[in-house]
Each structure stands twice: as C-alpha cells, then as structure tokens.
C-alpha cells in the first residue's frame, strides 16, 4: 500500500515539477548558446537580458513549486475535506506521512540538482569550473585531514547531515500543520505560529549544545578538528532526534487528534 501511495503522490507532483525542470534546463542551454555566439548589441542584447531574467524566474518557480507542493499536498490531502476520503482508505497514518515525506525529499534533492545544473550549463566557464574544483579539493582535503584520513566516516557524516537536514525541515512543516489544525477557526495561523515555535526551539537547543561543546573543548582543538569531533556529530544527533520526534508527533496528531472541521 505504501508503494501505491508513493506512486500516486509522485504522479500528482510530477505533472507540474517535471515540465518546470525540463523547461529550466532547456532555457539554460539556449542561454548558453546565446551568450556564446549571439551578438551583444541592439535587439539581441534585449533578448539576452530577457532570457536571463526568464531563467532566474524559472529557478525561483522550481524552488517555490517544490515548497508549495510539499505544504499543500500534506494539508489538502490529509487535513482538509480530502482527509475524509484519505482516512477511509485501508492504510495507517504513518504510511501516509512516509509516502509524502519520501516524495518531498526526492523532489527537494531533484530540484537542487536541477538548479545547480541550470547555473552550470548557462554560466560556467572552464576557468570558473577549474577554480571551483581546485577550491573544493583544497577544502575537502582539509576535512579529510580533520577526520584522520577516514574518507568513509567523512562521507557518512556529510551525507547524513544533508539528508537529515532535508528530512527534519520537511517534518517540521508537517508537525506544524498537524498542530495548527487543532486551531479550528485559525488553522493556517496556528500552523505558522507552531512552525515559528518549533524552529526557534530547535535553534536554541542547537546553540546551547554547541556552546557547551565550545566551552568544554576551549583551547584544546581548533575549529577544523572540531567538525568531526563535535559539530558534525552534534548536528546529526539533533537532526535525528528532531526528525523522529516530529514524525511521532505528526503521526499521533493524525491518528488521535485529527480535526477535519
């Protein structure tokens, strides 16, 4: 059943996001060609400017669409009138959450890849690419040294940090909407206030933990070596606990405190 839910969610979101991503990549290729071979004066300068603005507009459109779909699909499908139908299906509430979370994470990663590819296609030059690669290698080499040459641990922590950041932020939206629906007459305002409270609470907790770490190891290790020993593990732990807590609360709210009025 989970696979069917994910397939349905993917089809519903792909109808808008796939064309947007394809158009963005196509415009990026066109801009690359125009900047490289097109004249730089007269009407062609206006066209170049227009196409540049259009590409920037599409970039924001892809970002906005991803965020809007993540929010509206959860709210409309589960907490509006459609919720009466969704919760009559022979499926558990955590399957509904998992299906939407999985698809939202997938589209978030896809959008980031498409946006970076768009900028690379349209504006990258051999010099800028070489500068980026050299800078990346230099910074990455410092990280490898900080991890005592343990590439495996470095990649595990980096990938975990990125994925958990995406998952935690999506679940923060979900739990805020789930708590906000308790405010019968002001669900949207309640969701917004809930999000602000959750966000600031997490930031405050993370700040306290990092302050404790800095005080504990003050003067004993430099910032670079603090990454593998404290900052990365603390951030990963907070994000993991945060994700689990938000998931459990969201599931509880949908299962025990559902309000579709």
Nearest to 251 by CA among 78, 19, 117: 78
**DSSP three-state, residue 1:** coil
In a shared domain, residues 7 and 92: yes
pTM listed for this prediction? 0.85
Structural domain tally of the chain?
2
Report yes or no on 129 lying in a domain: no
Examine residue 165 and state whether it is found in any structural domain, yes or no: yes
115/169 same-domain check: no
Residues 104, 192 within the same domain: no
Please report where in the chains the tokens 């019968």 appear, as a residue. 184
Tell me, what's the pLDDT at 93? 85
pLDDT at site 198: 92
- Residues 2, 108 within the same domain: yes
Residue pLDDT, tens place only, 134-172: 888 887 787 777 777 777 888 888 899 999 999 999 999
Residue 106 shares a structural domain with residue 185: no
Residue 77 included in any domain: yes
Q: pLDDT for 93-105, tens place per residue?
A: 888 899 999 999 9
Taking each helix axis from N to C end, the angle separating 2-37 and 43-79, rounded to the nearest 10 degrees, works out to: 170
Query: Does residue 76 belong to any structural domain of this protein?
Result: yes
Could you tell me the pLDDT band of residue 229, with boundaries at 50, 70 and 90?
Answer: low
141 domain-assigned: no
Q: What CA–CA distance (Å, rounded) separates 178 from 201?
A: 17
| Same domain membership, residue 205 and residue 241 | yes
Percent of the chain past pLDDT 70, that is, above it, reads: 90
* Domain of 61, in residue numbers: 1-124
16 and 113, same domain (yes or no) = yes
Question: 86 with 181, same domain?
Answer: no
Is the pLDDT at 220 greater than 60? The verdict is: no
Residues 2 and 80 in one domain: yes
Q: Are residues 195 and 106 in the same domain?
A: no
Residue count (the chain): 261
Q: Which long-range contacts (CB under 8 A, 24 or more apart) does 131-140 make?
A: none
Residue of 125, 6, 132, 110 whose CA lies nearest to 65: 110
Claim to verify: residue 233 and residue 177 sit in the same structural domain: yes
Same domain? 161 vs 232: yes
Residue 164 within a domain:
yes
Residue from 108, 70, 79 nearest 188 by CA: 79
């Amino acid at each position: 059943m989970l696979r069917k839910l994910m397939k349905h969610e993917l089809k519903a979101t792909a109808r808008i996001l796939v064309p947007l991503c394809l158009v963005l990549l196509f415009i990026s290729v066109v801009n690359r060609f125009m900047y490289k071979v097109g004249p730089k004066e007269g009407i062609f300068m206006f066209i170049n400017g227009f196409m540049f603005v259009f590409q920037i507009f599409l970039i924001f459109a892809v970002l906005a669409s991803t965020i809007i779909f993540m929010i509206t699909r959860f709210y409309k499908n589960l907490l509006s009138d459609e919720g009466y139908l969704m919760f009559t299906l022979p499926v558990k509430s955590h399957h509904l959450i998992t299906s939407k979370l999985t698809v939202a994470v997938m589209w978030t990663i896809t959008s980031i890849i498409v946006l970076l590819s768009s900028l690379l296609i349209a504006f990258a030059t051999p010099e800028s690419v070489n500068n980026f690669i050299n800078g990346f290698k230099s910074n990455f080499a410092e990280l490898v040294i900080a991890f005592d040459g343990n590439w495996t641990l470095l990649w595990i922590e980096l990938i975990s940090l990125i994925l958990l950041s995406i998952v935690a932020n999506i679940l923060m939206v979900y739990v805020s909407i789930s708590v906000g629906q308790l405010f019968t007459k002001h669900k949207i305002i309640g969701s917004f206030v809930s999000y602000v409270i959750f966000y600031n609470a997490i930031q405050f907790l993370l700040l306290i933990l990092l302050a404790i770490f800095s005080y504990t190891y003050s003067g004993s290790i430099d910032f670079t070596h603090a990454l593998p020993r404290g900052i990365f593990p603390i951030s990963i732990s907070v994000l993991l606990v945060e994700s689990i807590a938000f998931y459990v609360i969201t599931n509880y709210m949908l299962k025990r405190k559902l309000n579709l009025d």
